[in-house]
């Protein structure tokens, strides 16, 4: 290579530092932290520091979805106030008070269960059937009728009222109220009856509202774990919507965008993988940063465990085994910003390669 060529490449490489770049170098971002008046603190993430960081408050959400344990109990499709009961009473006695001559059966349709949990049966009065299964209620009515006719037999059918329905509010093909016709109607069967989750939802989240409390689970977890498929109860409401959690990817990564959470928890290494990894020619493996802002009262003190300042920059060194294992176990919180800073030699390498190619072309002319 000629001396002139070497001098030109060296000159342009040095001047590359002043060329515009798409990504900051880590020392440019962290420079302010050295000041005593800095608004943020810098925390190096290592295997040694992870246990303490894990005790700090969670940001962006509650930290975990809360879901009901077990099968939800046998509280579904029991008779409730507002249900409607139809009776068919059979009595073969000629002198029966319940049937007419030549008519061995009489119909008592559409009896509404009162707020007190009773239905009115002629010649017997109020019969309490609230909280019973249809089979139990039939026996209760037949026992009550035995006081006027030992031979009377009863058929009973229940039409669920509002208290024995579940509202599928959104996120399915056919939203609306769904009647619970059995004692073991599960959430998955309910979703299936409603036409399934609409395909347009990305990373769907299933929210159950029961007795004034809200419970959430990701749809993929519900589908893959049979123990999560709980029994529905009258009055439940189900809302299926997109998981709104996201983190921001920025810098020398494969993508620069808002990235939705596609699972309940994401680590720093998984976050980098989700955005296409780091750009080999630009990224600084010692300069991967995660920016996070904690809420008021989260700092230490007053908390026993917390960051020194509300704004924190976590740094990772991916050139060491310690840094890689730390990144593998560090949890990214919703609304974190993941930054891959640029290597200081990146611009110089780009300019050298560009100039070298121009000189090669000129040599061939």
- Number of domains the chain contains: 3
Q: Is residue 147 part of a domain?
A: yes
Tell me: pLDDT of 345 over 70.
Answer: no
Is 207 in the same domain as 292?
no
Q: Is residue 4 part of a domain?
A: no
b/e sequence 134-156, b meaning 16+ C-beta within 10 Å? beebbebbbebbeeebeebebeb
Is 266 in the same domain as 235?
no
Is 213 in the same domain as 291?
no
Q: Is residue 364 part of a domain?
A: no
Is 270 in the same domain as 338?
yes
Is 251 in the same domain as 323?
yes
Helix axes 346-364, 3-15, angle to 10 degrees: 150
Domain boundary, last residue among 211, 242, 273: 242
What average pLDDT is seen over the chain?
A: 83
Q: Which of 59, 62, 63 is nearest to 310 (CA)?
A: 59
- What's CA 303's distance to the chain center, in Å? 28
DSSP letters for 309-322: SSEEEEEE-TTSHH
Domain boundary, last residue among 99, 128, 159: 159
Beta-bridged to residue 284, according to DSSP, are none
Q: Is residue 74 part of a domain?
A: no
pLDDT band at 292 (very low <50, low <70, confident <90, very high): very high
For 65, half-sphere exposure in the C-beta direction (CA atoms, 13 angstrom radius) is 21
Domain boundary, last residue among 222, 242, 262: 242
Residue 16: predicted pLDDT: 46
Q: Is residue 151 part of a domain?
A: yes
Whole-number Å distance between alpha carbons of 267 and 189: 33
Q: Which of 185, 161, 204 is nearest to 71 (CA)?
A: 185
Residue 205: predicted pLDDT: 96
For 18-22, 281-285, 325-329, which range has the lowest pLDDT when averaged over its residues? 18-22
Beta-bridged to residue 279, according to DSSP, are none
Is 216 in the same domain as 198?
yes
- Residue 33 lies in domain: 18-61+246-350
pLDDT band at 18 (very low <50, low <70, confident <90, very high): very low
What's the token pair of residue 354?
């560009």
Quick check: 168 and 185 in contact, CB under 8 A?
Answer: no
Q: Is residue 70 part of a domain?
A: no
Tell me phi and psi for residue 83, to 5 degrees.
-65, 160
* CB atoms near residue 354 (< 10 Å): 12
Is 90 in the same domain as 127?
yes
Is 284 in the same domain as 304?
yes
Q: Is residue 228 part of a domain?
A: yes
Is 259 in the same domain as 332?
yes
CATH number at residue 154: 3.30.1950.10
CATH number at residue 34: 3.10.560.10
* More confident: 43 or 356: 43
Tell me: pLDDT of 17 over 60.
Answer: no
For 84-88, 235-239, 282-286, which range has the lowest pLDDT when averaged over its residues? 282-286
Each residue of 123-173: pLDDT tens digit? 889 999 998 888 999 999 999 998 888 888 999 998 888 778 899 999 999
């Amino acid at each position: 290579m000629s001396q002139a060529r070497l001098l030109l490449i060296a000159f342009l490489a040095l001047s590359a530092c002043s060329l515009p770049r798409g990504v900051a170098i880590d020392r440019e971002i962290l420079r302010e932290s050295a000041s005593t008046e800095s608004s943020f603190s810098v925390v190096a993430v290592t295997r040694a520091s992870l246990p303490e960081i894990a005790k700090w408050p969670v940001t962006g959400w509650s930290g975990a979805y809360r879901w009901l344990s077990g099968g939800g109990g046998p509280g579904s499709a029991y008779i409730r106030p507002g249900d409607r009961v139809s009776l068919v009473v059979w009595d073969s006695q000629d002198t029966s008070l319940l049937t007419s001559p030549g008519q061995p059966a009489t119909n008592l349709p559409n009896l509404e269960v009162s707020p007190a949990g009773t239905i009115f049966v002629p010649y017997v009065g109020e019969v309490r059937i609230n909280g019973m299964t249809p089979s139990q209620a039939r026996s209760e009515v037949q026992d009550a009728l035995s006081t006027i006719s030992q031979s009377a037999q009863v058929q009973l059918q229940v039409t669920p009222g509002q208290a024995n329905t579940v509202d599928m509010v959104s996120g399915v093909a056919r939203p609306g109220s769904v009647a619970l016709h059995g004692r073991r109607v599960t959430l998955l069967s309910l979703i299936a009856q409603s036409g399934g989750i609409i395909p347009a939802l990305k990373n769907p989240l299933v929210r159950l509202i029961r007795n004034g409390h809200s419970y959430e689970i990701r749809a993929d977890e519900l589908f893959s774990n049979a123990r999560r498929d709980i029994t529905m109860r009258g009055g439940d409401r189900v809302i299926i919507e997109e998981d709104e959690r996201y983190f921001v990817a920025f810098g020398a990564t494969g993508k620069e965008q808002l990235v939705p959470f596609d699972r309940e928890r994401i680590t720093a290494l998984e976050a980098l993988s989700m955005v296409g990894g780091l750009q080999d020619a630009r990224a600084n493996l010692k300069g991967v940063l995660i920016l996070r802002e904690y809420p008021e009262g989260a700092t230490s003190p007053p908390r026993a465990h917390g960051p020194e300042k509300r704004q924190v920059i976590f740094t990772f060194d991916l050139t060491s085994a310690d840094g890689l294992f730390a990144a593998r176990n560090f949890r990214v919180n919703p609304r974190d910003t993941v930054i891959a800073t640029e290597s200081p030699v990146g611009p110089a390498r780009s300019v050298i390669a560009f100039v070298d190619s121009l000189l090669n072309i000129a040599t061939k002319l």
